[in-house]
Structure 1
Amino acid sequence: MAPRPKIIEGYEGIHSGPPVKSAVLILIMPDNNELAIPFIKRTNRGKYHAGQIALPGGKMDACDKDAIDTALRECEEEIGVPSKEISILGTLSELYIPLSNYNITPIVGSVLQKPEFILSPHEVDKVISIPLKELFDPNHKSTTSFSRHDHKIIAPGYRLGEYFIWGATAMIIYEMEQIMKTNTRQIEIRKTRKGTV
């Protein structure tokens, strides 16, 4: 799911400091009797990721003791989901983004019911709820090319109607998809073996 090129010519070495610690939240929620993930469409503000489909998240603040704190705080600030309602399920692999110099820790959480979203008007244009079965449908994986910062980008990703999820968000979701499919297969194998004993 990594776009090509990973580093855009002319943007190498533009960051003088160390990577910025950040986190995003993959929030698994019920929606119309299915499990879904709320993605955000960012507003057109911002230098690097304006207008993109993303997961709630952002950089770590001094008040955050760890990446989980960051993900929960950002989710509450951006889409209004109270931290106390979210159960943390685990973390995925850290991911470094050369263009923005962000080092992202993806956090996976869940809620018992679909939240009433309250959007941050400066950061979030809308929330898009996508069922897991649609997101993981092989027919929704595709590759597209477009210009980004005056350079041609070839990006694999998830195409769902008018929305295209690519870049770091697609890479994070793909890892979660593989983990969930592997665990499902292991459960099915255990059930089969139990049934044949």
Structure 2
Amino acid sequence: MNKYNLEINQGKIGQDGYVSQTGWVKTYYINETTREYMGATMEHITIGAGLPAGAYLDAPELPEKQDIAIVRSADELSWLHVIDHSGKTAYSTETRQPTEIDFIGDLPDTLTLLEPKTEFDKWDGKQWVTDTDAQKIALVAEADNEKAQRLNEANGTITYLQEAADVDLATESETAALQEWKKYRVLLNRVDTSTAPDIDWPKKP
């Protein structure tokens, strides 16, 4: 018998789960927190001991799709394929707020991969539905605010120009501007904000 050996000593594990022959074995290990498969490695095992925690002898079947993760079953007897959305953006079905998925498995009912299109979207259990009544109220309120700001600017400008005209100090350009601003204010007052967002705002002088 040659005193040298060119082969790697292969370890063996008996049916009882303990090492029956010291040597090297190929194992497949998991993240013990998520139970997700992490990779393969060679482990040196010794008689009387068992495999390291989170290491298994049976190889998992590789999934064909990228959005599938390999996990070890809870009873540690088999490998499972589960959906993997990690790294994708999901949206809260309650607040519409986006969040990055950092777990594997099915999404809870409070999250969806569908992106809401407006701040007035509500989740109906399957899709986002825009609350058009709430959207209309908000658009009218926004138009009312813009109309008020425009009128405030017009009133301030007209007051200044009118004072100059009242004391006969208005220049020709100021007199002309006064008329244009008054016309502008009349047109502003005629704006019907209930037609928002389809409003054709008058052009400011």
**Fold match, TM over 0.5?**
no
Q: TM-score range by the shorter chain?
A: under 0.3
TM-score, normalised relative to structure 1: 0.21
Give the strand-richer structure, 1 or 2. Answer: 1
Where relative contact order (Cα < 8 A, 6+ residues apart) is larger, the structure is 1
The higher radius of gyration belongs to 2
TM-score, normalised relative to structure 2: 0.21
